[in-house]
Structure 1
Amino acid sequence: MTDTTHTPDTTDGDDFRCGYVALSGRPNVGKSTLLNSLIGVRLSIVSHRPQTTRHRILGISTKPEGQILYVDTPGMHRGAKRAMNRSINRAARAAMSEVDVAVQVIEAGRWTDEDAAVYAALAEQEVPRLLVINKVDLQKDKTVMLPFAADLMAKHTFDEVYYVSALKSKGLPGLEKGILKRLPKQAAIYGEDEITDRSERFIAAEMVREQLMLRLDQELPYATTVEIEQFSDRPDGIAEVHAVIWVERDGQKAIVIGDGGAQLKAIGTSARKNMESMFERKVFLKLWVKVREGWADDENLLRRFGYE
């Protein structure tokens, strides 16, 4: 997928650097928001709920001095009892093993057992490790930040620490420079106008799922997934998208549809507008809600739905 609005003048000279960077961390520390801010495009879906990201997302940032290939990994979590959760953890670990630089993102002032588990997975990789302390804008008492970071650096091996606010795009230039200098010197892997290796079909499914995460209450969003049955461009230039929202029980189906179809209509309207903004053309979106009991524990269905 490409973004034709940003085409920097880059060269593949001797000083040009290019490589993969894993953005890792426990759920809900702001990895997807960080990715979006770093590449300047709202690529990875975001909600206030933990485990919004279920797939590996590649975001490409091309600058005159180098090309950074950010890999937004699903948040690693403990006690993964369902097949889908185990798949998410596998995707996160696999992404860590295939990069040139590993970035662990944590929340300002917090280091949990899940953070420690992420660090343990990163420590298995022989690549530079950077610590990113995110959400510093929410830390009212800034005097605690330096002792907090100093304690972490004393107990763990990181090459450098960075303080950022992904939501407000603060502290990112320094992080980018720190990443670039640790990437190998090599030519760009992707074109200057590419922003991801994911297809529009995949992004369409994610945009529908984002609305489920934002609009549905309690645990229901985690019982849903989205499958694109059709994605085609009509002769009139409109992208026609047919998507199925899968749930596990009939009662969940009724909630997703809502009274008189109101909830499903709101989900579709918001998702369609986001698609039109990203795809830069009109979209005709048709949604269905179907029941498949136990889909999140069915390995074959998970592969069909795109889980790695």
Structure 2
Amino acid sequence: MVNQNNKQNNQPFRSGFVAIIGRPNVGKSTLLNHVVGQKVAIMSNKPQTTRNQIRAVHTSEKGQLIFIDTPGIHKPKSKLGDYMVTTAENTLNEVDLVLFVIDATEKRGAGEEYILERLKKVNTPVFLVINKIDQIHPEALLPLIDEYRKQHDFKEIVPISALEGNNTAALVDTIYKIMPEGPMYYPADQVSDHPERFIVAELIREKVLHLTREEIPHSIAVSVEEMKRGENGKTLYIYAAIYVERDSQKGILIGKRGEMLKEISKRARFDMERLLGEKIFLEVWVKVKKDWRNQERMLRNFGFYDEN
């Protein structure tokens, strides 16, 4: 039971919002899932996996942290890409702390330079989080730290391995130390502020990312058409559509004798049952909507734009 007043140790209850930014595929979602102890953001080895802001909640005796996993900052090639980058950049001015995550195995490039330039324009404290340290020789770490220290006045520099969990607890402890005293924004047992429909759609999209390649991963969107409970109250019925941009992509997703779509559905249903804790009936089909990534109406339908 979390004691918001922390009277036993006379420590204030600290809370705040933390943005996680970085180039695509540096491990932001992996870090987010590890910190909260379960999957709230889908993971893939393909860039631009995250399209929306994913909010995850970490609650402890020390306080409550709301982590915001932003889409990877990249050079946009569509209206969807524009939305993703704008979402990530706008977050920097709305939080108490920014975690700039880099990949220890990659050299600093144009993507990092662009983010560093953006960071110069915000007053929010920034931690540099060097991820994937399990994949480099320890002697390579100090030169990397020195290199980035010259580029920005980081509040802290924390090397971690999000996949292995190395030093992630220390990162969370360090974040709490700089957070202001504040309220509990969410119930102690809540780990995300997204509705079930969003999570269900993301789990289906994750399985497509895992099972397909080339242009398919970036060409899909998932719409949950209906969610309803069965008459016995023991089964949740979910009906969802996967949208693609071309007929050839539809054929790939369905697969020979429907085998690909069956595998996507099977894997997604397994994760849904684990996450939601109930029996799931899942039906998925594929629709073609040409060039949907550049159609503002379609992007709004998929929840990528606010109505204001």
For normalisation by structure 1, the TM-score amounts to 0.94
CA distance in 1, matches of 2:126, 2:196: 32
Please name the residue that 1:174 is paired with: 170
- Amino-acid identity (%): 36
Match status 1:255 vs 2:252: yes
State whether structure 2 residue 193 is matched by structure 1 residue 200. Answer: no
Does 1:216 pair with 2:222? no
Contact 2:92–2:124 (Cα < 8 Å) also in 1: no
1:303 aligns with 2:305: no
Q: State the distance in 2 between where 1:304 and 1:207 align.
A: 18
Partner of residue 4 from structure 2, selected from 8, 11, 21:
11
Which residues in structure 2 correspond to 1:127-166 (within 5 Å)? 127-139=124-136, 141-166=137-162
Equivalent in the alignment of 2:187: 191
From 213, 232, 240, the equivalent of 2:237 is 240
Shift of residue 81 of structure 1?
2.2
Offset of residue 90 of structure 1:
1.3
1:55-113 alpha-carbon deviations (Å, 9 max, x no partner):
100000000011010001110102x1201111111111122221100010001153221
8 A Cα contact 1:59 1:195, kept in partner:
yes
Q: For the residues of structure 2 that align with 1:267 and 1:171, how far apart are their CA atoms?
A: 34
1:106–1:134 contact (8 Å) kept in structure 2: yes
**Counterpart secondary structure, 1:253:** helix
Which stretches of structure 1, 4 residues or longer, exceed 3 Å deviation after superposition? none
Q: Hey, what's the Cα distance between the residues in 2 that align with 1:151 and 1:246?
A: 43
How many pairs were matched up? 299
The two structures have a TM-score, normalised by structure 2, of 0.94
Of 10, 17, 21, the residue aligned with 1:20 is 17
Letter in 2 for 1:107: D
Give the counterpart letter for 2:275 in structure 1. M
Greater displacement, 13-22 / 24-33: 13-22
Rounded to whole Å, the distance in 1 between the matches of 2:93 and 2:302 is 24
Checking the alignment, whether the CA contact within 8 Å between 2:101 and 2:128 is kept in structure 1 is: yes
The answer to whether the Cα contact below 8 Å between 1:102 and 1:122 also exists between their aligned partners in 2 is no
Deviation at 1:116?
1.7
1:151 deviates by 1.9
The two structures, once aligned, show a CA RMSD in angstroms of 1.2
Supply the AA of the counterpart residue of 1:47. Answer: S
Secondary structure at 1:155 match in 2: coil
What is the rounded CA distance, in whole Å, between the counterparts of 1:183 and 1:290 in structure 2?
Answer: 46
Specify which of 269, 276, 284 is matched with residue 266 of structure 2: 269
Higher relative contact order (CA 8 A, sep 6+): 1
| Contact 1:101/1:129 (8 A) holds in 2 | yes
Q: Aligned AA for 2:301? A: R
